[in-house]
Structure 1
Amino acid sequence: MTLDAQGTNATACAGLNGQVPRCDHIARLPAVEYGPPECKECLLLGQTWTRLLVCLTCGWVACSDDSQGGHAKAHYRETDHPVVSVMEPRSTWRWCYIHRRTV
């Protein structure tokens, strides 16, 4: 067993070939229904969005960080819901705010 600086089992936390820690948040995601394909906050403020993200914990839809409002990240900060996906057909892209990387 390999221990990291904090004394935890680094081998158990490793990703493929030990490259990066696994994101356990993916395994804990419930099945959710997505909200409508719009950012409600942007609509209220008269803003437009670049792309929409959906919270995979509760289904909330909001604009991405590269949009003017960045409301998806604001949702994460308010709720601690860690993983989002892009609202595009057939996309498998997911982002974990806790790990700050794609998962």
Structure 2
Amino acid sequence: MAIEPDPHLSMVRPVSPRSPEGCEECLRLGSPWVHLRLCLTCGHVGCCDSMEPGETWRWCYAHEAMA
């Protein structure tokens, strides 16, 4: 069975971070963030605690799959 490419990859475009100073939710709550993530379709900056230096993978939240 062939793996279909994620259709959301076609939505990836150059974006500017909406909150270049850090994670939008953490800044709103006044809490520290961990590893920052950038949405490649809208520029949302969020964070997550599962990242290693040098990683270059992408995650599709709609399909819950790596892209």
Instruction: Please report the TM-score for the alignment, with normalisation by the length of structure 2.
Output: 0.69
Residue 96 of structure 1, CA deviation: 0.2
Identity of aligned residues (%): 44
Cα-to-partner distance string for 1:23-82 (whole Å, 9 max, x where unaligned) = 021122222123414013212312222211111112121122x49xxxxxxxxxxxxxxx
Distance 1:94 1:37, change over 3 A: farther
Greater percentage in helix: 1
CA-atom RMSD in angstroms? 2.8
Residue 89 of structure 1, CA deviation: 7.8
1-structure distance, mates of 2:11, 2:36: 22
Q: Across the two proteins, how many residue pairs are aligned to each other?
A: 66
SS class of match (1:58): coil
Distance 1:61 1:92, change over 3 A: same
Structure 1 residue runs of 5 or longer lacking an equivalent are 1-16, 68-85
Structure 2 residue runs of 5 or longer lacking an equivalent are none
Instruction: Please report the TM-score for the alignment, with normalisation by the length of structure 1.
Output: 0.50
The residue aligned with 2:15 is 32
- State which structure, 1 or 2, has the greater radius of gyration over its C-alpha atoms: 1
